[in-house]
Amino acid sequence: MLVTHARQLTFAHLWLAFLAFAVALVLGVWQMWARSPLPAPFVAASTYFSAVTAHGTAMAYVMPVFMIMGFGYYVAETALDRPLPAPRWAWSAFALGLAGALMATVTIFSGRAAVLFTFYPPLTASVFFYLGLVMVVAASWIWCVLMMVAMAQWKRANPGRPVPLAMFATVANAVMWLWTTIGVAAELLFQVIPAALGLKAQLDVGLSRTLFSWTLHAIVYFWLIPSYIAFYTMVPQAAGGRLYSDTMGRLTFILFLIYSLPVGLHHLLMDPQQSNAFKFLQVALTALVSVPTLLTVFTIGASLEIAGRLRGGRGLLGWIGALPWDRPLVLATGLAFLMLGFGGFGGLVNMSYGMNAMVHNTSWVTAHFHLIFGGTVVIMYFAIAYAIWPAVTGRAAPSLAAQRLQLWLWFAGMLVMTLPWHYLGLLGQWRRVATFNYADPIIAGWGPWVVVSLIGGVILLGSGLLFVLNLLQFNVSREPHAAAPGELYASAVHPPARVPAALNGFRLWNALVLVLMILAYGYPIAQFFVGDSPQALVHRVDERR
Amino acid sequence: MNDPDRLEQPWRLWASVAILSVFAFSVLFGFVLMPVMQGRAAGIDAFEAICRALGITPGSPAARQPTTNAKAQPATRVAWSADLLNSLTKATAAGESLAGSCAGCHGRDGRAVEVKLYPDLAGQSAAAIYKQLHDFKTGSRPSALMTPMVQALTEEQMVAVSAHFAAFPVRPIPAAQLPAAGAAIEGLVARGDSGRGMPACNACHGDQSGGPTEAPRLSRQSREYLAAQLRAFKTGERRNDIYSRMRSVAAPLTESEIDGLALFYASTRTY
């Protein structure tokens, strides 16, 4: 059952996400051009930093938030097979988020928010930039509550039955997002917005950076979880097999909830305001994300092996060739795993204190998060959109070949862009810089690699535009879509008849997150309120001298 | 297994045990073992090393700190605070009475009597005036004329006199228009020269710049005075700029660029 409000909600949310994505993509290519030795138009530091702010805001906040909300509404109706509770609230959230995104966009393009998308005072943007983003986050909070209510209502109607994995994972993400946004909300509410309004002339940047770190890592898992939902619930079905283990899926999403949060200090390894021991503690907890990651690689590997063998694959690795790689969801999963491998390796470097010291302020970091987020996560967003678009529009896909081409281009473009970019980081190319002096003999050697990276960016732009075109193709397709939307989800090899409450809800895990957060972040935050800590003068971007 | 409690109990227990043991291991390793071993190698006793690891005492458990007892010599001893900046916005009667002794050179209304030698103070940013007074006093910017003048001034008096002169209107552009500085000079002002590692002058001195608090406004100072200051930065004779900003910007400038930039600022309105 996919009643009209989820269909329209998903349609509206995903289109908004992808429009923001398309605009940000164009800006991204221009930014790479500006940093390259090739002469680019409009190059000035102020234009560059406004463009980076717009690119980051669109890609890191607007696009994923609306994508996740839209996909969540879809899952809530199709996996639970019941109408969404309070669709009016969902539409209000959409309107609120849209208004916020527009407000932030106008502020950025009027040059009053060239502060990048990370909230690192004392440089502060116009207050409308922050208020706009607060509205986007508030919209996502409404979504979180709706997801939790939908699951609770289903549980009440189906006592003792396990919540379908896709919905369990969606709610895990909603719960995690509520925890995640506490850090940045506190930073904005008590520090940045008062500073932007001129109510505060000084603020403690150590505290702001610590609060932002609370949000900074978990937000990545928030982006990532829809991809994992697709891996666990949609990919085995698309490949023609079954999910190897439903329990592994539940454990994975629970572990993401727990280990996304008390780990943010690994973003502050070079910051002096936090001590070695707390950095060590949070890095150790960071390392545990390897557990859900490896669980997933194993479970999805096993699920695909089941599918491959059912399709006649033989021998140790023969099942890989027997998989239906012509199906976009399967292809995207293969490509996403490859990028996850490269990106995961880079991530291990970043979380290692000594190696991080070498790459911290270099392009390595930028390349890393583009590969992980832009690569692994976003390619799965494409595949999810392709998979659910027939149900959303009621029409069958006009061309799978165009979808496959788009996914391959994205993969190729991402590697061509990010691998040289990583290398440039190792050579010492710094990040957050508008232009380079290629006349300098040391920097001159970077030039060819930057140009290769730019070519990767251009391929990505082509792929992104093809993606938008592919979605538009559904509108001209005449062929109606027949299959029921619920058929998208795989059943497990052993479908769970009954699971312990611990694997069917989040009460226990919320308690454990609370304990871990108090232990890991309690003192690192409390220290700012004990004794005098140095204050920095607020610098407002939109203050005219 | 039909008793729901028997299905639930192990989860609650073992999940908590597993997570808290990971935590306990990390604490033991990160808070005790590692700092003690690092401290031993650096000659720091175990207790102090643990305190440092926790962040209760400053420094790293892995290195003896401070590494030197040499006294730092900052380029300036001015420390900006919100209170200081706020007090600089208020012109007071105290400022007016003190300004009498400045008038001989800088004029009653902040317009210098001999513009080739002395800067105009009228309409200058109060923060910029205060910074220079402070530097004259502490010796960061030694001057045969100014250093003795400001020795007797207190902190409050320096603030008052800075706020006083900042409140006057700037000198109008002289009737006899100066020649235009040329496209190359305007390029330096707007874009700098990345080939020589020079940022745009506008980056700090523009009317919408994000420059340092103390960056002065430059327009309508005399060509001679501006050129003399750029040359003093270029040679290193003047050295009260934090992070050697102006010294590194001025060093690659040619003599004609210095004169061109001085002309540009002398003849414009908005910088």
Mutate to test the interface with B, among A207, A275, A517, A533 (most CBs of B within 10 A): A275
Helix, strand, coil in percent for chain A, rounding step 5: 75, 5, 25
Q: Rounded to an integer, what distance in angstroms lies between the CA atom of residue A281 and that of residue B53?
A: 11
Q: Which residue of A has its CA nearest to B22?
A: A285
Report pLDDT digits (tens) over A410-440. Answer: 999 999 999 999 999 999 999 998 888 888 8
Common-topology check for domains B82-166 and B183-266: yes
Q: What is the pLDDT of residue A545?
A: 41
Q: What is the mean pLDDT of the segment spanning A529-540?
A: 87
Confidence class of residue B10 from pLDDT cuts 50, 70 and 90?
confident
Q: Please answer whether residues A300 and A248 qualify as being in contact, where contact means their C-beta atoms are separated by less than 8 angstroms.
A: no
Cα B52 from Cα B39, distance rounded (Å): 10
Residue A545 falls within a domain, yes or no? no
Convert the pLDDT of each residue in B62-117 to its tens digit: 888 776 777 777 889 998 888 999 999 998 899 999 999 999 999 999 999 998 99
> Which of A58-62, A247-251, B11-15 is predicted least confidently?
B11-15
Rounded Cα distance, A271 and A195, in Å: 22
Half-sphere exposure (Cβ direction) of A117: Cα atoms closer than 13 Å: 21
pLDDT digits (tens, 9 = 90+) for A461-489: 999 999 999 999 998 877 888 766 667 89
Q: What is the dihedral of CA B264, B266, B269, B271, to 10 degrees?
A: 70
Chain B: residue nearest A111 by CA?
B208
Could you tell me if A421 and A271 are in contact, meaning their C-beta atoms sit under 8 angstroms apart?
no
Contact assessment for residue A144 and residue A90, using Cβ atoms and an 8 Å cutoff: no
Q: Output the pLDDT for position B151.
A: 93
- Domain spanning B183-266, CATH architecture: Orthogonal Bundle (1.10)
Please give the backbone phi and psi of residue B101, each rounded to the nearest 5 degrees, phi first: -75, -10
**Contact between A430 and A443 (Cβ < 8 Å):** no
Taking an 8 Å cut-off on Cβ atoms, the answer to whether A281 and B26 are in contact is yes
Query: Cβ–Cβ of B30/A276 closer than 8 Å?
Result: yes
Please give the residue of chain A at the shortest CA–CA distance from B19.
A512
**Separation of alpha carbons A168 and A197, rounded Å:** 41
**Structural domains of chain A, count:** 1
pLDDT band at A497 (very low <50, low <70, confident <90, very high): confident
B15: chain A residues, CB-CB within 8 Å? 502, 508-509, 512
Strand duo A536-537 + A123-124: pairing: unpaired
Question: Is pLDDT of B208 > 70?
Answer: no
Domain extents for chain B? 4-54, 82-166, 183-266
pLDDT at B1: 44
Paired tokens of A390: 């027939």
Question: Is domain B82-166 in CATH 3.40.50.10490, yes or no?
Answer: no
A482-486 long-range Cβ contacts below 8 angstroms, 24+ apart? A482/A396, A483/A390, A483/A391, A485/A1, A485/A2, A485/A74, A485/A78, A485/A388, A485/A391, A486/A1, A486/A78, A486/A79, A486/A81
Contact A58, A108 (CB under 8 A): no
Query: Where in the sequence numbering do the catalytic residues of A fall?
Result: 217, 221, 368-370, 431-432
| Whole-number Å distance between alpha carbons of B76 and B243 | 10
Residues of A in contact with B202 (CB under 8 A): none
Which residues are CB-neighbours of B159 under 8 A, at least 6 positions away?
A: B84, B87, B88, B130
A25/B42 Cα distance (integer angstroms): 50
Question: For residue B203, what is the nearest residue in chain A, using CA coordinates?
Answer: A45
Instruction: Determine phi and psi for A125, rounding to 5 degrees.
Output: -85, 180
Q: What's the token pair of residue B264?
A: 């540009």
Chain B residues touching residue A44 (CB < 8 angstroms): 191
Provide the 8-state DSSP code for A83. Answer: P
pTM for the full model? 0.89
Answer yes or no: are the C-beta atoms of B30 and B53 closer than 8 Å. yes
Q: Which chain A residues are closer than 8 Å to B30 by Cβ? A: 276-281, 284
By Cβ distance, the residue of A258, A535, A541 closest to B19 is A258
d(CA A54, CA A60) in angstroms, rounded, equals 10
Please give the residue range of the domain that contains residue A486. 4-540
Q: Do the strands A536-537 and A202-203 form a parallel or antiparallel pair, or are they unpaired?
A: antiparallel
- Residue window 32-51, chain B: list those with CB within 8 Å of chain A: 34-35, 50
- The rounded distance, in Å, linking the Cα atoms of A126 and A60 is 19
The CATH number that applies at residue A205 is 1.20.210.10
As separate numbers, helices (DSSP H) first and strands (DSSP E) second, chain A gives 21, 4
Task: Write out chain B residues lying below 8 Å of A544, CB-based.
Answer: 207-208
Task: Report the pLDDT value the prediction gives residue B192, as an integer from 0 to 100.
Answer: 87
Q: Is the pLDDT of residue A290 over 90?
A: no
Chain A interface mutation, best of B3, B19, B37, highest count of A Cβ atoms under 10 Å? B19
